[in-house]
Amino acid sequence: MKEYYNIQNRKYFYHNFQKLNPLLFLFLIVITFGFYLIEWFYQTSKIFEILDDEAFLSERVFFVIFLFPTTWYFINYFSTKLGFVNLFIDITERVVWAFLIFLIIKFLYDFACSFGRITETYGLFWFFILLIPILGVILIQLEINHLINKIEIKKKSNLFYS
């Protein structure tokens, strides 16, 4: 397990993040129809991989949040358009959607736990926050902004007193 309390790890973590205004963050999510959110999860997960041995692979973001649900949606859409609706397909549809929801919740849990380990906060708390659509991600970005400010203030005070 990597050392989370190492100040170099923290500086690297916060150095790779940019402060982002919550309203701009929300605007980017809305204007890109949610694709910015997928990109944000992916970029954040890549940083988690570097700092946390227990972090999940960042490629999982693309597959779990975008590719699997989109593919299943189109398979389901075209099968109903072609008239392949019967009891077996209806049951399969419900099972697959339930499995996809489980995968997304598992992804959010792993993401929140990695975030909690790296920032030395409670991962389970961030998991429950992430369950609130859009607002949870904005709150995580606000926490990142707050922690970046703390690092910058410490850096400035160390420069002033040296």
d(Cα 115, Cα 48) in Å, to the nearest integer?
7
DSSP states along the chain: ---TT-HHHHHHHHHT-----HHHHHHHHHHTTTHHHHHHHHHHHHHHHHH-TTPPPTHHHIIIIIIHHHHHHHHHHHHHHTT--SHHHHHHHHHHHHHHHHHHHHHHHHHHHHHHHHHTS-HHHHHHHHTSTTHHHHHHHHHHHHHHHHHHHHHHHHHHH-
pLDDT in tens, 52-78: 777 777 778 888 888 888 888 888 888
Q: Taking residues 80-101, report their average pLDDT.
A: 78
pLDDT at 109 over 90: yes
User: For the chain, which residues make up each domain, given as ranges?
Assistant: 7-161
d(Cα 125, Cα 116) in Å, to the nearest integer?
9
Find the range with the poorest average confidence among 11-15, 65-69, 106-110.
11-15
* Nearest residue to 142 (alpha-carbon basis) of 124, 117, 121: 121
pLDDT at 7 over 70: no
